Amino acid sequence: MNPFKSSLYWRLLLWFCAVNLLVLVLGGFLTRRFIEYTTAVEIDWSALAQSADQAYEQGGQPALADWVAQQRREGVLVEATLFENGQPLLPIRLPPSVHDSLPDMLAADRSLVLKPWRSQFMYLAVEPVAGADGQQRQLVVISRSHTRLRPQTREQILFGVQLALSLLFIGVVGWWVARSVAKPVQALREAARRMAAGELSARVGHPGGATRDELAQLAGDFDAMAERIEALVTHDRRVLQDLSHELRSPLARLQLILDLAQRSDDPAAAEHYFRQAEQEIERLDRMTGDMLALSRMEGGLPGMERERLDFAELARDVLQRAMLEADARHIRLHWSPAGAPVEVVGSPVLLERALGNLVSNAVKYSPEGGSVELAVHAAAGQAECIVRDHGPGVPEAELDSLFRPFFRGSNAARAEGHGLGLAIAQRVARAHGGEILARNGAGGGLEVRLRLPLAAG
């Protein structure tokens, strides 16, 4: 997986950049305020002027320049010089606004401490001093706040504040990120542990809230997997229970028949019992095959490839194969051709089984000498197969349960079966995106409609 396409990666990257930017801006802001207000120390401008004048008297301009350099290193001032008779003894860089008003400040011949720059923490100080030689001079200083902090100290304070802020914000954001990652992981772990313990209904839900990152998608995939596993296991358990229940009676009859055949002294009677045993074995084989087909379809595992086929031709073939069973009971089969191919996409084997169950069910419940009608046509983007018999029909209260596995209604005594044919037909229809409906026909009998989507194009 490409990490640059991961929403989790970009979320962590953006948070990391945001924290660093916040530390940089806030750290510089707080450090400046800390230096200017918390560590401020008032400067004795008179003593500072005396020191500058003394250096000048002892060594002239070179000594005054050394004194200014020393004060800069100690963080006392930015620019400084002595003025004598309105002229600077050393060059000094002054903003134009200060340079224009400086003569008036010097003429006042008094101590001044001003802050002419609103956006900066810079001060302008003018301090008169009388030299030992009797000459009047003025010390003019541009100072970065009233503080005596060395530049190295300033750097150390700035580094310390930024380090503390970095640790604080990284700790807070790291805790939040770890919590946002650990919460869905813990939920996944808990759901997996519950499933391993046999609680198949365990789900992760939405531990990440509204976020849809990779962890939330993983939680959704886990829930889908868990739901699928629960459905398959529940279905398999139900199939095993139903199969064990339905096989109990045929096995009991088979055991009784074989016991009677074993005790019979008459070969003809024993042969009769053996024929009955063969019939029971055939019924067991059909029931087991139907159960396996139903289980495969309910589990969503038809196990067969789909192809484009003519639904009308398939239905006609099924009807022809039912002729033998219908002729044995003198039942007429009527086929209404579609007139044109009705093409669908599906499994021929499964669709043939579903149509065969519908036709066989109609033949079984038709009266002796009756008729079964089968028609296929296309309408409204669907292929529809209609199977109609003229038997007793189904009570209205039982129509909703007609496609339930092993359901046998009040008319079940009229024909043999174990209640799986219509259930299998319904599962085949659903597996192909279709539906199956049943209703009592006008004048009696049952009408079953199997609908499938028509093939595209």
Residue 293 tokens, joined: 């087909």
Q: How far apart are the C-alpha atoms of 273 and 279, rounded to whole Å?
A: 10
The residue assigned the tokens 């499994």 is: 347
Q: Is the pTM higher than 0.95?
A: no
In this predicted structure, what is the pLDDT of residue 213?
65
In 79-232, which ranges are E strands?
A: 79-84, 87-88, 112-114, 123-130, 136-143
Architecture of domain 45-148: 2-Layer Sandwich (3.30)
Tens digit of each residue's pLDDT, the chain (457 residues): 455 555 666 667 777 777 777 777 776 677 666 655 555 556 788 888 899 999 998 999 999 999 988 888 876 677 899 999 888 999 888 878 788 888 888 888 888 888 776 645 577 888 999 888 888 899 998 886 555 555 566 667 667 777 777 777 777 777 777 777 777 778 888 888 888 888 878 888 765 555 566 777 778 888 888 887 887 787 777 667 666 655 666 777 788 888 888 888 788 878 888 888 887 788 778 767 766 765 666 555 555 567 899 999 999 998 988 887 888 888 999 998 877 889 999 888 788 888 988 998 888 888 888 999 999 999 888 999 999 998 888 888 788 878 887 666 656 545 555 567 788 788 888 888 899 999 998 878 889 999 999 988 7
In this predicted structure, what is the pLDDT of residue 448?
92
In this predicted structure, what is the pLDDT of residue 356?
87
Pairing relation of β-strands 343-346 and 382-389? unpaired
Residues facing 258 on adjacent strands? none
**Angle subtended by helix axes 421-431 and 348-364, to nearest 10:** 150
DSSP notation for 232-278:
HHHHHHHHHHHHHHHHHHHHHHHHHHHHHHHH---HHHHHHHHHHHH
**Residue 43 CB-density burial (10 A; 0-12 exposed, 13-18 middle, 19+ buried):** buried
Range list for CATH 3.30.450.160 in the chain: 45-148
In this predicted structure, what is the pLDDT of residue 66?
92
Q: How far apart are the C-alpha atoms of 24 and 14, rounded to whole Å?
A: 15
In this predicted structure, what is the pLDDT of residue 435?
93
Question: In this structure, how many other beta carbons lie within 10 angstroms of the beta carbon of residue 189?
Answer: 12
Residues 6+ apart with CB under 8 A from 295: 235, 236, 239
Asked whether 281 and 253 are in contact (CB, 8 A), the reply is no
Range list for CATH 3.30.565.10 in the chain: 307-453
Architecture of domain 307-453: 2-Layer Sandwich (3.30)
**Which residue pairs from 234-237 have beta carbons closer than 8 angstroms and sit at least 24 positions apart in sequence?**
234/200, 235/295, 235/298, 235/299, 236/295, 236/299
